[in-house]
Each structure stands twice: as C-alpha cells, then as structure tokens.
Amino acid sequence: MNSVMTFSRNAVDPDSISKDPDYSSNFKVEIFFKDICNLCKPTTSLESKCQYCKEKMANDMVFWQIIHDILNVIYFLTKSFI
Ligand SMILES: [Zn+2]
C-alpha cells in the first residue's frame, strides 16, 4: 500500500516560508512512501512490533525506547503535580 503525507506551507516552516512572498500560497510538500509492514501500525508499541519491523528498526529501537521513557516520565510528573 502506498501512502502520501501532505504538508502545507505553514506546516513545513511557519516562521520563514509562510512569510516569504517567493513561495506560492499553494506551496506544499508531499511525501510518498510505501508501507513496509501491513501488521504494525504507528501506534503499535515497540514491544509488540512484528519481528520484521523489529529487525528493520534494530538500530533505532534504543532511541525510540528512550523517547518513550522520557514521555512516560513527563506524563507521570504532569499527572503527579496537577
Ligand atoms: Zn511490523
């Protein structure tokens, strides 16, 4: 399955491109990509990813885990002090 993500002028760079008259108001960036897995979704936890994704993401898994852990700490702290 092929997918496309479209980003408007503001989404690409709200500070400079959106204010630059050299860029059309219709300026957009489209990123076309092909899904490599039909089993996992972006919301699938790292632990639950299929073996194929785990192998493909092997070099990045540690960084994703760090990001996940940081977000969990922030969530915990936010909920603890409100
Ligand atoms: Zn997968």
pLDDT at 82 over 70: no
53-81 per-position pLDDT tens digit: 999 999 999 998 899 899 989 888 888 76
Alpha carbon of 38 to ligand 1 centroid (Å): 7
* Nearest CA-CA partner of 38 in 53, 57, 26: 53
10-57 per-position pLDDT tens digit: 888 877 877 888 888 888 999 998 888 999 988 898 889 999 999 999
Alpha carbon of 53 to ligand 1 centroid (Å): 4
Can you name the residues that pair with 6 across neighbouring β-strands? 30
Alpha carbon of 67 to ligand 1 centroid (Å): 19
Alpha carbon of 22 to ligand 1 centroid (Å): 42
Alpha carbon of 43 to ligand 1 centroid (Å): 11
> Residue ranges per domain, the chain?
1-35, 39-82
Say which amino acid occupies 49: K
Residue 70's contacts (CB-CB under 8 Å, 6 or more residues apart) are none
